[in-house]
Amino acid sequence: MNAVAKELNTVLEGTVVYDLLSDFGKRFYFPKGIVAQSAEAKKKATRYNATVGMATIHGTPMYLESVKRQVLELTPAEMFPYAPTSGVLELREKWRKEMDRKNPSLKGKQTTLPLVTSGLTHGISTVADLFLDPGDPVIVPDMFWGNYSLIFEGRNRAGIKRFPFFNKEGGLNLDALESAISGITGSKFAIILNFPNNPTGYSPSVREAEGIVSLLKSAAEKGKKILAITDDAYFGLFYEDETLKESLFGTFADLHDNILAVKVDGATKENFAWGFRLGFLTYASRGLSGEQLDALTSKTMGAIRASISNSSKMAQTLVLKSLPSATYWQEKEEGFKILKSRYLKVREVIAAYGEKSPLKALPFNSGYFMTFLYDGGNSEKLRTHLLDAYGVGTISIQEKYLRIAYSSVELTDIEDLYAILDKAAREVR
């Protein structure tokens, strides 16, 4: 094992981080190689800096004018150089401050500075590499984003443990979650919570969130080591008053010494910048020292360096420059209002169909999506029929659920869309 990795492990020994690290995580470190030496040279090489494999002229990056003129307001230095492996420092600092603003329960709590990832998928995959060995249990609701299977099972060979997401009353099934946790026989487990949920568009109420927190704290008090991941891809799109408006990360951050909280979020959906592929990865745990958080950051930087090296400098610059804009929050609020109006229209249209439709809506209150249970039918057959007969695209899940992304349908088209869905569902049946 590399000497730097051993040193970082020594710093982390005796903490929940060390107990949760996978074999990969224990072996990884951020090397004092080209990137680290280049960073050192950037500070001290006042005469010549011959470290980075980047072409410059007169002290600025070389570039193609045909590319530069597409983004006139940015300088070449803001567009073309490599970004640090950890991300642009000013952006990381500003994003951390925004986390406090959006999550009052997090304010004043010690976390790592957010690390920049190439989208949320990359962030979740990095966490899985660092903490999951083959066979390690990962608790997820039975309604989950399909890429979790590819990441946790396909890539890391961990074992996904599903629990029924909803109870008979149409709320979060805390009893099923409790059973899933109590069914873990080993000393550790991971859990990933995605609110607003993809594919259902459901977020917990304040009471349900308190129930989740209580269950994890109870398991930690019994000695379980817990990797608690919050996938906050659709954060902020909460449409109902009773819904929890914060990330559970704020509570998990200092809940118990046996819980390592991980927040994966980003500009992808929050800032309507899907193609930027810009995510953030933040850690916290009660009792971790600054040195230990730094060691965990170093290991994560090593994993990022070994996969993508660094994320897009231009994307980071664009997000960074937008944050202090006088119209930033107003623009986000306008986007929120558009999505909420579509959500409310969907609820209105579904209510009009009542119980007569073969499409039964699962609970939803937030985010981009809602999902139907196709009562007595095959959702994959319905999906293909919608495409072939009506030119309507939807997503089939488990051959009994149909996901609708109303986020991408104009308000004036929602009534027509749902009429087609209902008609097609009756035809296939």
pLDDT tens digit sequence for 176-195: 999 999 999 999 999 999 99
pLDDT band of residue 54 (cuts 50, 70, 90) is: low
Sheet strands (E) in 195-244: 225-231
- For residues 125 and 151, the answer to whether their CB atoms sit within 8 Å is yes
Give residue 25's region: left, alpha or beta (phi > 0; psi -120 to 50): alpha
- Name the class of domain 328-428: alpha beta
Question: What's residue 130's pLDDT?
Answer: 98
pTM of the predicted model as reported, rounded to 2 decimal places: 0.92
Sheet strands (E) in 218-364: 225-231, 259-266, 279-284, 359-361
Rounded-to-integer distance, Cα 87 and Cα 83, Å: 6
Question: What's residue 33's pLDDT?
Answer: 66
Question: What's residue 56's pLDDT?
Answer: 64
Question: What's residue 55's pLDDT?
Answer: 58
The number of beta carbons lying within 10 Å of the beta carbon of residue 291 is 10
Q: Which residue has the tokens 């009893």?
A: 175
Question: What's residue 48's pLDDT?
Answer: 60
Considering the chain, what is the average pLDDT of its residues? 92
Question: What's residue 405's pLDDT?
Answer: 94
What is the rounded average pLDDT of the residues 255-272?
Answer: 95
73 CB-near residues (< 8 Å, 6+ apart): none
For 403-428, what is each residue's pLDDT tens digit?
Answer: 999 999 999 999 999 999 999 999 99
281 CB-near residues (< 8 Å, 6+ apart): 114, 115, 116, 117, 123, 126, 127, 262, 263, 264, 300
Residues of the chain with CATH 3.90.1150.10: 328-428
For 79-129, what is each residue's pLDDT tens digit?
Answer: 888 899 999 999 999 999 999 999 999 999 999 999 999 999 999 999 999
Query: Over 80: is that where the pLDDT of 47 sits?
Result: no
Number of H-type helices and E-type strands within the chain: 18, 13
Question: What's residue 404's pLDDT?
Answer: 94
What is the rounded average pLDDT of the residues 252-257?
Answer: 97
- Name the class of domain 3-30+85-322: alpha beta
Query: Over 70: is that where the pLDDT of 375 sits?
Result: yes
pLDDT band of residue 30 (cuts 50, 70, 90) is: confident
Give me 129's structure tokens: 């590499």
Q: Which residue has the tokens 């930033």?
A: 328
Question: What's residue 254's pLDDT?
Answer: 97
Least confident of 204-208, 245-249, 281-285, 396-400: 396-400
Give me 248's structure tokens: 């559970």
- Strand bridging mode 115-117 / 60-61: unpaired
Which of 232, 281, 362 shows the shortest CA–CA distance to 114?
Answer: 281
For 134-159, what is each residue's pLDDT tens digit?
Answer: 999 999 999 999 899 999 999 999 99
Residues of the chain with CATH 3.40.640.10: 3-30+85-322
Rounded-to-integer distance, Cα 274 and Cα 115, Å: 18
Query: Over 70: is that where the pLDDT of 34 sits?
Result: no
Question: What's residue 429's pLDDT?
Answer: 74
Q: How much of the chain exceeds pLDDT 70, in percent?
A: 95
Question: What's residue 72's pLDDT?
Answer: 83
Give me 84's structure tokens: 């640090």
pLDDT band of residue 59 (cuts 50, 70, 90) is: confident
For 286-337, what is each residue's pLDDT tens digit?
Answer: 989 999 999 999 999 999 999 999 999 999 999 999 999 899 999 999 999 9
The number of beta carbons lying within 10 Å of the beta carbon of residue 402 is 25
1 compared with 398, residue with greater pLDDT? 398
Rounded-to-integer distance, Cα 137 and Cα 255, Å: 21
pLDDT band of residue 19 (cuts 50, 70, 90) is: very high
Rounded-to-integer distance, Cα 163 and Cα 165, Å: 6
What is the rounded average pLDDT of the residues 353-366?
Answer: 93
Query: Over 90: is that where the pLDDT of 67 sits?
Result: no
Q: What burial letters (b/e) apply to 91-113, b meaning 16+ CB within 10 Å?
A: bbebbbebbeebbebbeebebbb
- For residues 368 and 395, the answer to whether their CB atoms sit within 8 Å is no
